[in-house]
Amino acid sequence: MLGQLKCLETLNLSHNNLSGTIPSSYGEMLSLTIVDISYNQLEGPIPNILAFQNAPIEALSNNKGLCGNASGLELCSTSNGNSHNHKTNKNLVVILPLILGTVLLTLFLYGLSYVLCRMKEYKVADESHVENLFTIWSFDGKMVYENIIDATEEFDNKHLIGVGGHGSVYKAELLTGQIVAVKKLHSLQNEEMSNLKAFASEIQALTEIRHRNCEVIWILLPSIALIFGL
């Protein structure tokens, strides 16, 4: 309250057993010319105005520990504040790298987990695709042959999708629901056996096809050279 009396010229608070620090609002009482705060329990810095700075030591004495730019008083130490700031800065230097390291480690582990999960999904999908495609071939050759004959309606031309030098290719839907291309060899006469080398090269080329939508299988069945899934 007294700090609001900005036109006050004389302030005498001596012998009042006051304690604590002097309010900072006293620093705005620029009209003060005479101050006496002796015989109290005041401590800390005095206001930075002429009335306090020019006050005689008797007007400031017998207090718990006043300090400031006044005759007879010790200068206020800033070591506590500096020490606190230094400690705070030191804590920040230690904590910030830990937080940053934790965030980076979390992101790395999340990314690694995501990549491994995706790789596992692709592997399972590929294995499932291969397994489904090969399951039907685990039966004996006669059953497989009969399934192909039924699927192509004994190689009816309506299932024909292409003709090559060594055979015709038919589209067939197997019992598993998979769509495959079946190549039926042309009948080879004895004088045409010399073409077997070229045919073998064709088979070799087909078995080396690598595409996610084409899984090549080649099997030996009567008059059927190979089958490859689409």
Q: Which two tokens stand for residue 198?
A: 């070229």
With 0-12 / 13-18 / 19 or more C-beta atoms within 10 angstroms meaning exposed / middle / buried, residue 171 is middle
| Burial track 143-154 (b if 16+ CB lie within 10 A, e otherwise) | ebeebbeebbee
* 90 known member of a binding site: no
- Backbone φ, ψ for residue 119 (5° rounding): -60, -40
Q: What is the largest CA-CA distance in the chain?
A: 136
Which are the contacts of 200, defined by CB distance < 8 A and separation ≥ 6?
none
**HSE-up of residue 196 (Cα within 13 Å, Cβ side):** 8
**3-state helix, strand and coil shares in percent for the chain, rounded to the nearest 5:** 45, 20, 35
Output the CA angle 104-107-112, nearest 5 degrees. 125
Residue with tokens 């899934």: 229
Spell out the alpha helix ranges (H) of 163-212: 196-207
From the annotation, which residues make up the binding site?
184
Residues that constitute the known binding site for ATP: 184
